[in-house]
Amino acid sequence: MIVIPAVDLREGHCVQLVGGSYDVEVIRLDNPPEVAARWEDEGFSTLHVVDLDAATGRGSNRDVIQKILKSTGCDIQVGGGVRTTEDVDELLRAGADRVITGTRGLEDRRWLIEVAEANPGRVVLAVDIWERRIVIRGWSKTVEHEFKEVISELGALPLGGLLVTAVHREGLMEGTDVPLMREVLACSSLPVQTAGGVGTIEHLRVLEDLGVAGVVVGTALYTGALDPQALIEEFAQ
Could you list the active site residues? 8, 128
Helix (H, G, I), strand (E, B) or coil at 165: strand
Cβ atoms of 165 and 192 within 8 Å: the answer is no
Residues found in the chain: 237
Return phi, psi of residue 65, to 5°.
-60, -45
The C-alpha atoms of residue 201 and residue 64 are separated, in whole angstroms, by 30
The C-alpha atoms of residue 174 and residue 196 are separated, in whole angstroms, by 9
Name residues whose C-beta falls within 8 Å of residue 84's C-beta, 6 or more positions apart in sequence: 104
**Which pairing describes strands 141-142 and 161-166: parallel, antiparallel, or unpaired?**
unpaired
Torsional sign, CA 223, 192, 124, 39: positive
Q: How far is CA 93 from CA 55, 84, 86, 151, in A?
A: 20, 14, 10, 28
Name residues whose C-beta falls within 8 Å of residue 128's C-beta, 6 or more positions apart in sequence: 102, 134, 135, 136, 139, 164, 165, 167
| Segment (H or E) for 71 | helix 62-71
